[in-house]
Amino acid sequence: MTKPTNRSGIWLDLLHRLLDANGGKMNGKLLLAIVVVAILVVVGFVAFRLILVDMILTLKDAR
């Protein structure tokens, strides 16, 4: 198997490996786990950005 060079290729390669390990079938639990982890990552990133913006604005107002 060749190594992908772009980011989407990495995710597709990971998905293919998961499918191959499961006999080509993706069950509902695995799909649900992938979706939950993706949602948690997005929510964590948004929360981090909001906290960072709030800190920057607080420092700017302190001058």
Whole-number CA gyration radius for the chain:
19
In angstroms, what CA-CA distances link 15 with 20, 25, 41, 49? 9, 11, 18, 28
pLDDT at 4: 47
Residue 62 phi/psi, 5-degree rounding, is -75, -15
pLDDT at 24: 63
Domain boundaries, the chain: 7-61
pLDDT tens digits, residue range 4-53? 456 677 878 877 777 776 666 667 777 788 889 999 999 999 999 999 99
